[in-house]
Amino acid sequence: MSQEFKLDLPIRPRRLRRTAGLRAMVEETVLRPADFIAPLFVIDGKGRPEPVKSMPGVSRLNITDLVKECRALAKLGVPAVALFPKLDAKLKDADGTRALDEDGLILRAVRAVKKAVPGLTVITDIALDPYTTHGHDGVLTPAQDDVDNDRTVGILCEMAVLHAEAGVDIVAPSDMMDGRIGAIREVLDIADFTGTAIMAYSAKFNSAYYGPFRDAVGSAKAAGTNVLSKATYQLNPANRRESLIEATLDVAEGADIVMVKPAGPYLDIIREVRDASTTPIAAYQVSGEYAQIHAAAKLGWLDYERCRHESLLAIKRAGADLILTYFAKEMATLLSK
């Protein structure tokens, strides 16, 4: 009986899944090397790369090795890198004063990369957490019980101008202070850096997925433990509408690109921001997302290559135009073949 049974179905969606060729013809979302931004960690000196234990395959690089890595990424078609410094603990203080050092590590790194690979887009982090002893993204109030919003914004404005002078293409404020996008846009324009773009960390959530990154930049032990939680400035993971308020404000203040961070656990937020705005959207597949795929694959619980690809495909499908990911080089190598 079962062999004779036939359904009268004029519409059979499986028809277009029958062969690899048909599936490719109707594929809706495609990953390209040009979709990726590679986050890179830079250290001072001439030492060998320093592996980040919690991020397999990721190392802190001296400036010479950083330039080599940037050349390799550019050849693979990755259009941009995001640079993050790891300072010696002796150079940090409560006010993050090294953030305004005109010959600081990150500015020397920017100059070297732009000289060696001028066509590569260079993005830098505008926040104080790599520079402060307490690990927070800004300076603290006199009572040491909160981050001083307005004083922090003033410092970030100075920092953004220094980065623009060094040749940065995009400054990326990741601090989540109120009003910082408008203030940074104003000072950049006054300083004749009207062409320097702003990628705003607009919907940056107070996430547990940042641990390996804080290890990489040396702020893990301090952040959110000794003084206060970053929940006073980063978004509550429970809130959707609040992320739309932040993104809308940043666009109104002059953001050229808005970002959702983390990416994978917040695909719904990416889609909400995409539906609400025509501004380009970046999504940051953060260190914890990267580390958990590696860890599960190492235990044999997941297929590493398929999960790596699927995780990035989901981020783009949700509406991201650009993806910051530690898989950038691996994926670009694979996709450029």
261 is catalytic: yes
Q: Which residues of 69-107 are buried (b: 16+ CB within 10 A; e: fewer)?
A: bbeebbebebbbbbbbbbbeeebbeebbebbeeeebbbb
Determine which one of 86, 261, 316, 329 is catalytic: 261
CB 169 within 8 A of CB 120: no
**How far out from the chain centre does Cα 110 lie?**
17
Nearest residue to 113 via CA among 166, 60, 51 = 166
Token pair, residue 79, equals: 């259009």
114 is catalytic: no
3-state helix, strand, coil in the chain (%, to 5): 45, 15, 40
Q: Rounded to whole angstroms, how far apart are CA atoms 134 and 186?
A: 29
Nearest residue to 147 via CA among 157, 139, 155 = 139
CB 168 within 8 A of CB 196: yes
Determine which one of 86, 92, 204, 329 is catalytic: 204
Catalytic residue set: 204, 261
